[in-house]
Amino acid sequence: MPSASCDSLLDDIEDIVSQEDLKPQDRHFSRKHVVPKVRKRNTQKYLQDENSPPSNSTIPGIQKIWMRTWGCSHNNSDGEYMAGQLAAYGYEITENASDADLWLLNSCTVKNPAEDHFRNSIKKAQEENKKIVLAGCVPQAQPRQDYLKGLSIIGVQQIDRVVEVVEETIKGHSVRLLGQKKNNGKRLGGAPLDLPKIRKNPLIEIISINTGCLNACTYCKTKHARGNLASYPIDELVDRAKQSFQEGVCEIWLTSEDTGAYGRDIGTNLPALLWKLVEVIPRGAMLRLGMTNPPYILEHLEEMAKILNHPRVYAFLHIPVQSASDSVLTEMRREYCVADFKRVVDFLKEKVPGITLATDIICGFPGETDQDFQETVKLVEEYKFPSLFINQFYPRPGTPAAKMAQIPAQVKKQRTKDLSRVFHSYNPYDHKIGERQQVLVTEESFDSKFYVAHNRFYEQVLVPKDPTFMGKMIEVDIYESGKHFMKGQPVSDARVYTPSISKPLAKGEVSGLPEEFRNRLGNHPSSVSHASAVGRHFASSRMALRLQNLRRDRALRVSVGLALLALLLAFFCQNL
C-alpha cells in the first residue's frame, strides 16, 4: 500500500529541486570561481627539524672531530690547515677525544716511537668505535700496512680535500687520496697556501716553503712520504705572510724538510725569498728560519749572514750534522763532510755574533765504531751547542739503513746516554745573567707558571704571567739561567711595544675568512669556540639553502597543480 507521501506522482526528478536551489547552469558558473585551499604547515616546527637532525644522523658537517698531530712543524702546519677547513665547513673541532665522532690522526714517520704512538691511537679509536681518518707521513709512505687496512687516508699533498675524505668516512666509506699535486706535469709544493686554518698559537704562523728534498739519506723514511723537492713560488709565500700579519700574527716560522734547498726546482733560492719576506714584516714582528742541511747553505753563506743580522729575523739556524765521522756520513749519504759543517758553523759564528746554532745527532747508526762516536763527542765539546737534538738510531722499514748490520741496542742506548751527559755538562746561558734584552712574548710555559718569550737569538726567556705582555715586545733584565732557558724581570719604565698590525684572532678562530663573514659571526659566549661558531654558521647556511630549495619545489608543484585544475575545469565547461 503506497504511503501518503507518494499520492502525487512526480513527472520528473527535477521536480524535487526548489526555487531556491542552484540550477545546473549556476553550478557551472560557480566552478569558475573555485580557489584551492592550500594546507598550512607548521613552518616553525619544520625549521627546527631541519636545523636539528636526529642524534644518530649521518649528515656530514655536524659531527665533532678530534685531531692529534705528531712530528715536525711542517706536519703541524698541515694539521692547522685540515682543522681550519673542517671547521669552516661546519664540523666542530673538539679537544675531548671521547666526545668526538671521528678521530683525525696526523702521523710522523721519522722514528719508531712516533709510529708506535700512531698505531696505538688507531687501536684505541677502533676500540671506542670512532670513525678514523689517517694523515701524515706514515700512511703516505706505506699505505698497505696491515694495521691501515680499511681505513681512510688523506695524503700529505691532498690536505685541501680533507672535507671530502671526512664526509665519506662518516657515511661509512673508506677513501684514500694519495696523489701528487701537479701543474702541466710539474710537481707542486702541495695544497694552496690560502686555505682556511686554525693556528695552534694565534700569534705564530707556520709556512711550509717547500716539500720534499734533494737528498737520499739511507735512514730517512720521510723521503718516501714527501718525495723530491717541490717549492712554492715566492709571491704565494709573501702573500701568505701578509695575510698572517693582517690577522695579528707577530712571529713567522718557515719550515720544510730542507729550507736550504728552497727554490732549486723553480729557478730561485732561499736568500731571494728571505729578502722579499723581510720587506713585509712589521716592526717588532720576527721571522724564524727552519732546518737546513749543510750542502745547500754553503753557497749562500754571505747572503745568509746578512739576512740573519736583520733586526726582524732571529739570529738562529738549525743545521743537522748527524755524526762527526766522515765514514758514517758517507754511509748515511749525507753529501757533505765534517769539514763542510764546521765551515758553515765557523763562518756564521763570526759574521753573526751571538747566533744560536742548533744541530741533530744520531747515535748508533749501523757501522758506527767507538772511534766514530768519540769524534762526535769531541764536536759537541768543542762547539757546546746550546740546542742539541740527540736521537738513538731506529731502523725504519723500507730504508737502506734497515738492511745494514745493526749495532746492538744496548750499545746504542749507552752512546745516547753518554752524549746526553756531555750536553748537560755545560750551561750556555750563565754568562748572560745581568744583561738587558728585548724579547717577544708568544706562548705560555708547559707548567703554566710563566709566559715564554724569545730574544734576538731565539733563546728562551721566561717572564711573569702578565696578560698585557702576551704578543708584545718587552724589555727585561736577565736574573737567572738554566740549561734551556733564562728568566727575565720586565724593566719597570720600559715601553711595551705591540708588533701586530691587527688584533690577533682568538684561539680556535678560523684564519682566512673574509672580513664581512667575521663581522656576521659577532660575539659568542666564552663557552663556545669560534671554530664551532663558524661551523654552525656554515651548517645553518646549508640548511637554509636546502629549505629554500624545498620551498621552491613546493611552489612549483602547487603552480603545476593549479594549471592542471584550470585545464580540467575548462574541459568540463566546454562539454556541458
What is the per-residue pLDDT for 16?
39
Q: How far apart are the first and last CA of the chain?
A: 41
Cα 274 to chain centroid, rounded: 23
What is the per-residue pLDDT for 65?
96
What is the per-residue pLDDT for 556?
53
What is the per-residue pLDDT for 330?
97
Q: What is the 3-state secondary structure (H, E, C) of 12-46?
A: CHHHHCCCCCCCHHHHHHHHCCCCCCCCCCCHHHH
Mean pLDDT by 10 residues, the chain (576 residues): 44 42 49 53 50 59 93 92 94 95 94 93 96 94 93 94 95 91 78 93 96 92 90 96 96 95 96 97 95 92 97 97 98 96 98 98 97 98 97 94 96 98 97 97 95 98 95 96 97 84 91 65 39 46 40 55 72 66
- Residue 187 grid coordinates: 710537481
Angle at 166 between CA 165 and CA 169, to 5 degrees: 85
What is the per-residue pLDDT for 39?
57
What are 561-565's contacts with CB under 8 Å, separation 24+? 561/36, 562/36, 565/36
Q: Which of 198, 188, 209, 75 is nearest to 134 (CA)?
A: 75
- Report the C-alpha gap between 278 and 260 in whole angstroms: 17
Number of C-alpha atoms within 13 angstroms, CB side, residue 490?
22
- Residue 183 grid coordinates: 701543474
What is the per-residue pLDDT for 498?
87
- Report the C-alpha gap between 416 and 48 in whole angstroms: 62
Instruction: Decide if 210 contacts 254 (C-beta within 8 A).
Output: no
In the structure, how many helices (H) and strands (E) does the chain have? Answer: 17, 21
The conformation of residue 313, written as its DSSP 8-state character, comes to B
What is the per-residue pLDDT for 41?
53
- Report the C-alpha gap between 193 and 237 in whole angstroms: 8
DSSP reduced 3-state for 134: strand
What domains appear along the chain, each with residue ranges and CATH number?
60-184 (3.40.50.12160), 430-490 (2.40.50.140)
Inter-CA distances, 428 with 8, 42, 349, 357, 535, Å: 129, 73, 15, 12, 47
Strands 473-481 and 436-444: antiparallel
What is the per-residue pLDDT for 8?
42
- Residue 247 grid coordinates: 690577522
- Residue 425 grid coordinates: 755538562
Instruction: Decide if 392 contacts 364 (C-beta within 8 A).
Output: yes
Angle at 340 between CA 337 and CA 237, to 5 degrees: 110
Strands 102-107 and 131-136: parallel
Stated pTM of the model: 0.80
Residue whose cell numbers read 762527526: 324
Q: Which of 120, 167, 126 is nearest to 150 (CA)?
A: 126
What is the per-residue pLDDT for 128?
95
